[in-house]
């Protein structure tokens, strides 16, 4: 009937308005991030979230047609928290891309731990099975590090000769905070809680300008 048709049109219009409202929220977030950081960002909806078990990979609704390439850093943001690394583009199609999450066991990103204004180098590796955590390894024993310290990307991943080309991860992207520190021999290892849980994000930004 004409009434049912009108109701259908109103529902569709309502859905469009809701989507526009959500997009506006993310656009405002993006503008705020770009004010604080020298990044050129491309917003992307998460279309396929990682399964409950197995590799931590998600699909986003942006691809090579939008300028996305393998190795680009992908960030997310929780309310009240910093824009932070959630993964790295692993493969690209025309209009979609697969993102390897930082919590996957195969994910490795060079990182700096900031303690009382001093920075020490390490390698952040995924520890998804330990509650979406990361492990910061290869930290020199002499480096000052303590729970609560912030960890950011170091921008050196490309020189580490890791199989997946992660050379496009720029420096100073927030990653997470130190929860626990253990020492063994000449090295220390820290357990990190990511600032943004990659398994929970529904909208992300790809960093298009790479300086690593």
Q: How many domains is the chain partitioned into structurally?
A: 2
Residue 60 lies in a domain: no
Distance, CA of 15 to CA of 24 (rounded, Å): 14
Domain of 26 in residue numbering reads as 1-36
Residue 74 lies in a domain: no
Residue 151 lies in a domain: yes
56-74 average pLDDT score = 94
- Is the pLDDT reported for residue 212 higher than 50? no
Q: What percent of the chain has pLDDT over 90?
A: 45
Distance, CA of 18 to CA of 134 (rounded, Å): 35
Alpha-carbon separation of residue 70 from 1, 28, 187 (angstroms):
51, 27, 32
Burial state string for 90-100 with b = 16 or more CB within 10 A and e = fewer than 16: bebeeebbbbb
Q: Are 154 and 171 in contact (CB under 8 A)?
A: yes
- Record the tokens describing residue 117, joined without a space: 């204004």
- Record the tokens describing residue 84, joined without a space: 């932070």
Q: What is the mean pLDDT of the chain?
A: 85
Distance, CA of 111 to CA of 172 (rounded, Å): 9
Per mean pLDDT, which range of 43-47, 197-201, 207-211 is the poorest?
A: 207-211
Residue 201 lies in a domain: no
List Cβ neighbours of 132 (8 Å cut-off, separation of 6 or more).
Answer: 103, 194, 197, 198, 199
Q: Name 60's bridge partners.
A: 46, 97
- Is the pLDDT reported for residue 117 higher than 60? yes
Distance, CA of 16 to CA of 107 (rounded, Å): 37
The string of pLDDT tens digits covering residues 125-168 is 999 877 889 999 989 989 999 999 999 998 876 555 555 544 56
- Is the pLDDT reported for residue 103 higher than 80? yes
Give the per-residue pLDDT at 5: 85
- Record the tokens describing residue 93, joined without a space: 């199609």
Residue 85 lies in a domain: no
CB count, 10 Å around CB of 78? Answer: 14
| CATH at 150 | 2.40.10.350
């Amino acid at each position: 009937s004409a009434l049912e048709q009108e109701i259908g049109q109103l529902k569709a219009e309502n859905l469009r308005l809701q989507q526009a409202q959500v997009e506006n929220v993310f656009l405002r977030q993006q503008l705020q991030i770009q004010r604080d950081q020298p990044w050129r960002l491309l917003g992307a909806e998460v279309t396929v979230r990682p399964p409950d078990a197995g590799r931590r990979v998600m699909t986003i609704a942006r691809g090579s047609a939008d300028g996305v390439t393998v190795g680009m850093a992908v960030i997310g943001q929780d309310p009240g928290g910093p824009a932070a690394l959630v993964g790295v583009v692993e493969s690209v199609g025309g209009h979609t891309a697969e993102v390897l999450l930082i919590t996957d066991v195969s994910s490795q990103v060079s990182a700096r731990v900031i303690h009382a204004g001093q920075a020490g180098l390490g390698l952040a590796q995924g520890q998804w099975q330990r509650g979406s955590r990361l492990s910061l390894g290869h930290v020199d024993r002499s480096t000052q590090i303590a729970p609560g310290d912030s960890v950011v990307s170091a921008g050196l991943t490309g020189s580490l000769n890791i199989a997946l080309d992660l050379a496009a991860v720029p420096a100073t992207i927030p990653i997470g905070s130190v929860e626990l520190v253990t020492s063994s021999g000449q090295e220390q290892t820290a357990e990190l809680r990511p600032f943004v849980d990659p398994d929970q994000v529904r909208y992300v930004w790809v960093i298009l300008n790479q300086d690593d």
